[in-house]
Amino acid sequence: MTPPTEPPPLLKRGDTIGVVAPGFAPAPAALRSGIRFLTKAGYTVRVGDHVGGLEGYFPADDGDRADDLNTMVRDPEVKAIWFARGGYGSARILPLVDWAALRRSGKTFIGYSDITALAMAALRKSGTTWLYGPVVTEIGLQQSHHKAGFGRLLRGKDDQLKFRKGQVLVSGKACGRLLGGNLTVLVHLLGTRWMPSLDGAILALEDVGEETYRLDRALTHLRMSGALDRIAGICLGRFNPPPARRRFPPDRSLESMLQDLLGDLNVPVVHDLPFGHIPGKRVLPLGCAATLDTVTRSLGLSPRPGN
């Protein structure tokens, strides 16, 4: 069983944040808005050389996108690397990342969704904590919920996640290393050298735009792989469905499917926690120690240095 990692330090005003796009090309207006928001918050922003390009659906080829990330990782002035957007493509650069430099860097890494591929690989290869939170193209949006989530992230206030409105599928209490991210991305790492062991872990999963049967298929594959055989607990975020016009009938309730696939694992399982593809998402420090307790209805997270 791999021991938990230490949470990254809090960012301070004046720190330099590097912005890179390892997957899909970010929308220019949303990217500018996010960078402007970071600058107004008192941070120096350094953007990767290839972030603003466009080559197919990526901003650049795999080598250039990896170079942007490696350059930021090796730069001692950069205190955090904040990913521009998700989508798809991060997995393609995994063989090109300088994992040794990343391990030594001590930087804060922030992003979610497709960034799951980098986060899980980093935990396997370098033992580096990743903050599973908003991407740069989201934080500049003017809705107050995005600003609130951004503030919680930078102040390190996400050390306990309450789920009063969440659903307890299986009661219990568990402690372990927090792992996970986007279900679809994580499942596609199974069988590769980038997937960390889930033994003794509390697994956090979320997804967006997927039919219930597709989630069923992904969870079934995850279970049949043996990855859940020695899991400590499972916390599920939001699984926002696709638009109604795309729904494939006949459908099944998400809750009944989750109960069917996860209810007999003999570990605590909770659903509908406020993380994932939602406004005001809570930030999860992947790799850190966590305690899932269905009695107190909370997910306790390691406090970050400086709190």
Q: Which CATH number characterizes residue 150's domain? A: 3.40.50.10740
HSE-up (13 A, CA, CB side) for residue 52: 7
The reply to whether 139 and 177 lie within a common domain is no
Q: Which of 33, 90, 105, 113 is catalytic?
A: 113
The reply to whether 81 and 120 lie within a common domain is yes
On the question of pLDDT at 306 being above 90, the answer is: no
Look at strands 44-47 and 167-170 and give their pairing.
Answer: unpaired
pLDDT value of position 177: 95
- Cβ contacts of 148-152, under 8 Å, gap ≥ 24: 148/280, 149/279, 149/280, 149/281, 149/282, 149/283, 150/37, 150/41, 152/282, 152/283
Q: What is the CATH number of the domain that holds 190?
A: 3.50.30.60
Known active-site residue 277? yes
The reply to whether 197 and 134 lie within a common domain is no
Sign of dihedral through CA atoms 231, 233, 237, 243? positive
pLDDT value of position 7: 76
* Assigned domain for 5 exists: no
Tokens for 3, please give them.
């021991």
Residue pLDDT, tens place only, 179-198: 999 999 999 999 999 999 99
Q: How far apart are CA 172 and CA 234, in angstroms?
A: 11
* Assigned domain for 4 exists: no
The reply to whether 226 and 129 lie within a common domain is no
pTM: 0.93
Q: Where does a domain end: 137, 155, 173? A: 155
CB-based contact 178:275 (threshold 8 Å): no
Residue pLDDT, tens place only, 252-266: 789 999 999 999 999
Residue pLDDT, tens place only, 29-68: 999 999 999 999 899 999 999 999 999 999 999 999 999 9
* Assigned domain for 1 exists: no
* Assigned domain for 76 exists: yes
pLDDT value of position 23: 98
Q: Where does a domain end: 101, 129, 155? A: 155
CB-based contact 239:206 (threshold 8 Å): yes
Q: Which helix (H) or strand (E) holds 152?
A: helix 144-155
Among 275, 259, 265, 257, smallest CA distance to 231 is for 265
The reply to whether 54 and 116 lie within a common domain is yes
The reply to whether 193 and 148 lie within a common domain is no
Q: Which helix (H) or strand (E) holds 173?
A: strand 173-182
* Region for 120 from its dihedrals, namely left if φ exceeds 0, alpha if ψ lies in -120 to 50, beta otherwise: alpha
pLDDT value of position 149: 58
Q: What value does the mean pLDDT of the chain take? A: 90
On the question of pLDDT at 245 being above 90, the answer is: no
Structurally, how many domains does the chain consist of?
A: 2
Q: Where does a domain end: 155, 177, 205? A: 155
* Assigned domain for 109 exists: yes
Query: How big is the CA angle at 205 (ends 2 and 10), to the nearest 5 degrees?
Result: 65
Among 92, 95, 62, smallest CA distance to 185 is for 92
DSSP code of residue 49: T
On the question of pLDDT at 249 being above 80, the answer is: no
Residue pLDDT, tens place only, 7-27: 777 888 999 999 999 999 999
The reply to whether 165 and 150 lie within a common domain is no
The reply to whether 149 and 178 lie within a common domain is no
The reply to whether 195 and 208 lie within a common domain is yes
Tokens for 166, please give them.
């969440």
**Alpha helix locations (H) across 12-80?**
28-40, 62-74
Q: Which of 105, 206, 271, 302 is catalytic?
A: 206
* Assigned domain for 228 exists: yes
Q: Note if the bond before 250 is cis, omega within 30 degrees.
A: yes
* Assigned domain for 306 exists: no
Q: Which domain holds residue 64?
A: 16-155
The reply to whether 149 and 257 lie within a common domain is no
The reply to whether 27 and 83 lie within a common domain is yes
Q: Which of 50, 271, 277, 302 is catalytic?
A: 277
DSSP code of residue 295: T
* Assigned domain for 6 exists: no
The reply to whether 190 and 147 lie within a common domain is no
Q: Give the pLDDT band of residue 281 (cuts 50, 70, 90).
A: confident
